[in-house]
Amino acid sequence: GAGVSQSPSNKVTEKGKDVELRCDPISGHTALYWYRQRLGQGLEFLIYFQGNSAPDKSGLPSDRFSAERTGESVSTLTIQRTQQEDSAVYLCASREDMNTEAFFGQGTRLTVV
Partner 1 sequence: GENVEQHPSTLSVQEGDSAVIKCTYSDSASNYFPWYKQELGKRPQLIIDIRSNVGEKKDQRIAVTLNKTAKHFSLHITETQPEDSAVYFCAASSNAGGTSYGKLTFGQGTILTVHP
Residues lying near partner 1 in the complex (CB under 8 A) are found at 31, 33, 35, 41-43, 45, 48, 50, 53-56, 58, 91, 93, 95, 97-99, 101-107
- Cα separation, 90 vs 87, in Å, equals 9
**Closer to partner 1 at the Cβ: 82 or 108?**
108
For the bound state, the minimum distance from the C-beta of residue 47 to partner 1, rounded and expressed in Å, comes to 10
56 strand-pairing partners? 48
For the bound state, the minimum distance from the C-beta of residue 32 to partner 1, rounded and expressed in Å, comes to 10
Evaluate whether 90 touches 10 at the Cβ level (below 8 Å).
no
Evaluate whether 43 touches 33 at the Cβ level (below 8 Å).
no
Closest CA to 75 of 21, 2, 8, 12: 21
**Closer to partner 1 at the Cβ: 13 or 45?**
45
**Closer to partner 1 at the Cβ: 2 or 98?**
98
For the bound state, the minimum distance from the C-beta of residue 15 to partner 1, rounded and expressed in Å, comes to 25
Terminal-residue alpha carbon distance, the chain: 37
